[in-house]
Amino acid sequence: MIQKNPGIIIGPITKLLGFIFNFVFDIVHDTTVANSLGISIIIITIIVRILIWPLSIKQVKNSVAIQHLQPKLKKLQQKYPNKNDVESQKKLNIEIQRLYAQNNINPASGCLLAFIQLPIFMALNQLLSRSYYYISDIGTIYKNLATKIMSVPNYVSLIKPLAIPKVPSNMTIDLSIVEDMQKVINKFTTSDWSNFLSHTSGDVHNQLVDMLLQKQSVENLFGINLIDPCGLKFPGVMIPILAVATTFLSSYFMNKMMPAVDEAIKTQQKIMLVIMPLMMGGLSLTLSSGVGVYWITSSVIQLIQQLFANEYRKKLQEEN
């Protein structure tokens, strides 16, 4: 279905990301047309991971500091041994929070990384779902396609049956407007294009085929269309498989390198070790494939960063 404009929260983030993405894509597209959207996603991911690297270091510092406080934390827990006493547990939590504050520890810093990435994740899906709107070079390809389609005699009668299933009931599409035609062809499947092209001939047919090949060259990565959901067929199905694998490995090594000191947190980590990979695999199936490429790349970079962070953690532990 044709998507509406993003809301007041994700909308501004999508516009900002679109501005950055457009800049990166211009450079990549000038260098190579083939796979330029996929390469741009990978570069953007690297930029994001570099920008949030200081937060990762902060997370390591917090982890080491909490481990250093273990003797004091155990004393507090021994002070309030009754786990079923709500009032005692409330007092225990207050004292733990006070201890954290005295040592400049933010136990929620690990969650901050996820909270920062989530809006980027959703904004990227919006951007890729309407790449023609946010990325000028792709917009030019779509505009040329839309204009060429509108030069075909009786194009409305050919396009309308293909367009109707893609238009939400509360949205109006005017096939005589180039911008609206772009929205429609953005959701065209291979079958839709084959259907329409079968009613064209001569130079118009050849020109449309050339434009579609250009569009495919830009939007595809290893034969996977990055605009559409990947689906369960090969090679698209590799996106959710890799998303599950890289998310699991990233979470697993993070837990190994920075083990939790609290039993409750350890239990949460074990649960998230299963839930997060499955959730990312499911999201990769439903969102644009390019979002999956972003997440896979991010997880791989995070694994590499964790190796450096682990060395930094060892150094901090030696100093303490």
What is the per-residue pLDDT across 23-45, written as a single tens digit (0 to 9) for each?
999 999 999 999 999 999 999 99
Q: Which of 194, 201, 196, 189 is nearest to 175 (CA)?
A: 196
Reduced to 3 states (helix: H, G, I; strand: E, B; else coil), residue 231 is: coil
Q: In sequence order, what are the residues at sequence separation of 6 or more whose Cβ sits closer than 8 angstroms to the Cβ of residue 195?
A: 162
Residue with tokens 């000038």: 30
> Greater confidence, 298 or 4?
298
**Is the confidence at residue 228, as pLDDT, over 80?**
yes
Distance of CA 210 to the CA centre of its chain: 31
Rounded to an integer, what distance in angstroms lies between the CA atom of residue 296 and that of residue 41? Answer: 11
What is the per-residue pLDDT across 147-197, written as a single tens digit (0 to 9) for each?
999 999 999 999 999 999 999 888 889 999 999 999 999 999 989 999 999
End-to-end, the C-alpha distance of the chain in Å comes to 57
Average pLDDT of the chain is 87
Contacts of 50-58 with C-beta under 8 Å, sequence gap 24+, read 52/113, 52/116, 52/117, 53/305, 55/109, 55/112, 55/113, 55/116, 56/113, 56/302, 56/305, 56/309, 57/309, 57/312, 58/106, 58/109
Lowest mean pLDDT among 225-229, 243-247, 304-308: 304-308
Q: How many CA atoms lie within 13 A of 167 on its CB side?
A: 19
Task: Name the DSSP letter for residue 2.
Answer: P
**Is the confidence at residue 261, as pLDDT, over 70?**
no
Question: Quick one: what percent of the chain has pLDDT higher than 90?
Answer: 52
Task: Name the DSSP letter for residue 106.
Answer: -
What is the per-residue pLDDT across 72-127, written as a single tens digit (0 to 9) for each?
878 887 777 766 677 777 888 888 888 888 887 776 666 667 677 888 889 999 99
- Global pTM reads 0.86
pLDDT band at 289 (very low <50, low <70, confident <90, very high): very high
Rounded to an integer, what distance in angstroms lies between the CA atom of residue 161 and that of residue 111? Answer: 47
135 close to 18: Cβ distance less than 8 angstroms:
yes
Domain range annotation of the chain: 10-69+105-319
Kindly state the average pLDDT of the residues 205-234. 93
Rounded to an integer, what distance in angstroms lies between the CA atom of residue 21 and that of residue 38? Answer: 11
H-type alpha helices, 32-170: 36-51, 53-68, 70-79, 86-102, 109-129, 131-134, 136-149, 155-163
**Is the confidence at residue 262, as pLDDT, over 70?**
no
Rounded to an integer, what distance in angstroms lies between the CA atom of residue 63 and that of residue 44? Answer: 28
Kindly state the average pLDDT of the residues 59-82. 76
H-type alpha helices, 220-262: 238-257
Q: In sequence order, what are the residues at sequence separation of 6 or more whose Cβ sits closer than 8 angstroms to the Cβ of residue 11?
A: 5, 126
Give the pLDDT score at 109. 63
Reduced to 3 states (helix: H, G, I; strand: E, B; else coil), residue 158 is: helix
Rounded to an integer, what distance in angstroms lies between the CA atom of residue 7 and that of residue 318? Answer: 48
Reduced to 3 states (helix: H, G, I; strand: E, B; else coil), residue 70 is: helix
102 close to 96: Cβ distance less than 8 angstroms:
no
pLDDT band at 16 (very low <50, low <70, confident <90, very high): very high
Per-residue b or e along 41-64, where b marks 16 or more CB atoms closer than 10 Å to that residue's CB? bbbbbeebbeebeeebbebbbbbb
Report the largest interatomic distance among the alpha carbons of the chain, rounded to a whole angstrom.
86
